[in-house]
Amino acid sequence: MIDVFLAIACSVLVSALLKLARRFEVDVGQAIAWNYAVASVLVALMLQPDVAALHDVAVPWLALIGLGLLLPTIFLALGASVRHAGIVRSDAAQRLSLLLSLPAAFVFFGESLRPAAAVGIVLGLLALAAMLWRTSPSPATPAAANAARWLYPLLVLAGFGVIDILFKRVAQAGVPLATSLQAMFALALPVAFALALWRRCRGGARFTARNLLGGVLLGLFNFGNILFYLRGHRALPQHPALVFASMNIGVVALGALVGVLLFRERLSRLNLAGVLLAALAIGCIARV
C-alpha cells in the first residue's frame, strides 16, 4: 500500500503547488505547460510506451485529441478552483467526477447499475451540495468571487468527468496505458503552450525560470501520482477496488487536512459533512 500512499501524497502536492503559485509569483498557465513537457519525458523514459501501437486503425484519435484539448484547460480550471474555493473543495470535486463517469459507464460502455453504485451516486450528489453550500456570503466580497467559489469546483467535476469518459473510450479500444499517456501528454503540450502564449500576448506573465521551475515540480508530482497509482494496482492485482477506493478517499481526506491545517481554509460543519459524504460515496462506488 506504500505506493498508493505515495500516489495520494503526489496528488495533494499538485493541489498544494497550485495553491502556493500566487504566493511565489508563479504563473499557473506556464507551469502547467512545462508540466506536460516534464511528464511526457518521464513517461517516455520510465514507462517506455510502444508508440507503434498508435498506427493501429482502431486507435480512437478523436478521444485522444479531446483529451489533449481538455487536460490543460481543465488543469487551468483546477488551478482557479484551488485559488478561489480551496484545496478541500477542489480535490473532493475532482474525485467526485465519478458522478459523471460512472453513469456514462452504464450508458455507453454496457456496465450494469448495482445498488452500491446507485447509493454512491446519491451520496455523491449530497456531498457536492454540502461542500459547495455557503450559508452567508460576505457582503464585502464581490459577487463574482462568491460565484467562483462554487462555479470552478463544478467545472472541475464536469471536466474531469468527461476526461474519465474519454480515457475509458481509449482503454476500451485496447490502446496500452503507457502509449495513451504519451499521446495525451504530447497532444496537451502544444495546447498548453498555445494558451500560455495567448495569455502572454494579452499582457500576461512573461516566460521566466521561476515558472519553468514551478512546471518541473508540477510535472514531477503529476507523473508521480500516475506512476505510484499504477504500481499500487500491480502490487495488489487481486484488489483493484481497494486501490481505487484508497486512492480517492485518501486524496479527499489528506486534501481536507492540508487545506484546513496548513492553509487555514474555513469550512462550515455542513462543508465538513460534505467531505465525509464524499468519502462514503467513493467507498460505495468502489464496491461495484
Residues 64, 107, 115: CA angle, nearest 5 degrees: 125
Nearest Cα to Cα of residue 34 among 210, 180, 189, 184? 189
C-alpha cell at 252: 479527499
Neighbours of 271 (CB within 10 A): 21
Whole-structure pTM value:
0.91
d(C-alpha 145, C-alpha 84), whole Å: 7
* Domain regions of the chain by residue span: 2-286
On the question of pLDDT at 186 being above 80, the answer is yes
| Alpha helices (runs of H) in 43-86, residue ranges in sequence order | 61-85
So what's the pLDDT on residue 150?
Answer: 87
pLDDT digits 0-9 by tens, 266-278? 888 998 999 999 9
Neighbours of 147 (CB within 10 A): 12
On the question of pLDDT at 143 being above 70, the answer is no
pLDDT digits 0-9 by tens, 54-96? 999 899 999 999 999 999 999 999 999 999 999 999 999 999 9
Strands (E), the chain: none
CB crowding 208-221: b at 16 or more within 10 Å, else e: eeebbebbebbbbb
Nearest Cα to Cα of residue 102 among 121, 116, 115? 121
Q: Cell numbers 460505495 label which residue?
A: 284
Q: Measuring CA to CA, how many Å separate 207 from each of 29, 32, 199?
A: 10, 12, 11
d(C-alpha 154, C-alpha 90), whole Å: 9
d(C-alpha 5, C-alpha 2), whole Å: 5
So what's the pLDDT on residue 132?
Answer: 81
Nearest Cα to Cα of residue 276 among 135, 134, 128? 128
